[in-house]
Amino acid sequence: MTQRVAVVTGAQGGLGESMCKAMCDQDRRVVGSFLPGAEAEAQSWQADMKAAGYDVAIYPLDVTDYDHCSSFIAKVEEEVGPIEILVNNAGITRDGPLKRLKPEQWQAVLRTNLDSMYNMCQPLFDAMCGRGFGRIVNISSLNGEKGQFGQANYSAAKAGIYGFTKAIAQEGARKGVTVNAVSPGYIDTPMVRQVPENVLNAIVDGIPVGRLGQPEEIARAVAFLTAEDAGFITGTNLSVNGGQYMS
């Protein structure tokens, strides 16, 4: 069987890198994306991945721009093959309490974290349905489930992913296309490790399993939902948060 092409947006972050590795371990042809203008960093990352045994193609992508997403998809499909697996992982934070949250902070997070879902899925979805196979996983967040002080923009965007996921899951259900969400809790990534020690300790104290999650644990959830035999799981959210929020 021809290797399926899997795209992971935001590939260079702690979570994205682990997802790329998990897709490679599933024998996928993996394509990652990076922010335009960061070519040198992306090439260095790609070389490090290859040295570790993971051959990942990487392309520039602005997930906030529909036309750029369409061009990215066309280029990948021309050079690598038809995209049958999509992991919408790219995301940002621009935190602040609502009274100080500026319009540009709101818009940047909504465009990157929520508009990107449409921008990437819409150009791909019909072709996936036509081929009779597709796996889409949208990365949400614990804070999309429960909300978080100072993250009205982020929580709103991540919560919106659930409605989007459930709606298009219904559109693809009879055509072999599954659409699911994964909601990570607090994961041991460089970004989380930048939190002041006392704050980080308080976060860990609130996690029933007593530790931060590992990026590989999120990647395992994504790999589970993108597997060939995962066709009966669609329109759902898989929370991977150590029991911090139980819904």
What does the pLDDT look like over 156-193, one tens digit per residue?
999 999 999 999 999 999 999 999 999 999 999 887 88
Structural contact between residues 241 and 221, judged by C-beta atoms closer than 8 angstroms: no
Which one is catalytic: 54, 59, 118, 154?
Answer: 154
Name residue 222's amino acid.
Answer: V
Q: In this predicted model, what pLDDT tens digit does every residue of 17-71 receive, in sequence order?
A: 999 999 999 999 999 999 999 999 999 999 999 999 999 999 999 999 999 999 9
CATH superfamily assigned to domain 5-239 = NAD(P)-binding Rossmann-like Domain (3.40.50.720)
Q: In this predicted model, what pLDDT tens digit does every residue of 120-159 receive, in sequence order?
A: 999 999 999 999 999 999 999 999 999 999 999 999 999 9
- Provide the pLDDT confidence category of residue 118 given band limits of 50, 70 and 90: very high
Q: Is 154 a catalytic residue?
A: yes
CA distances to 108, 115, 186, 245 from 208, rounded to whole Å, are: 33, 33, 12, 9
For the segment 199-228, the average pLDDT, to the nearest whole number, is 96
The reported pLDDT for the residue numbered 103 is: 98
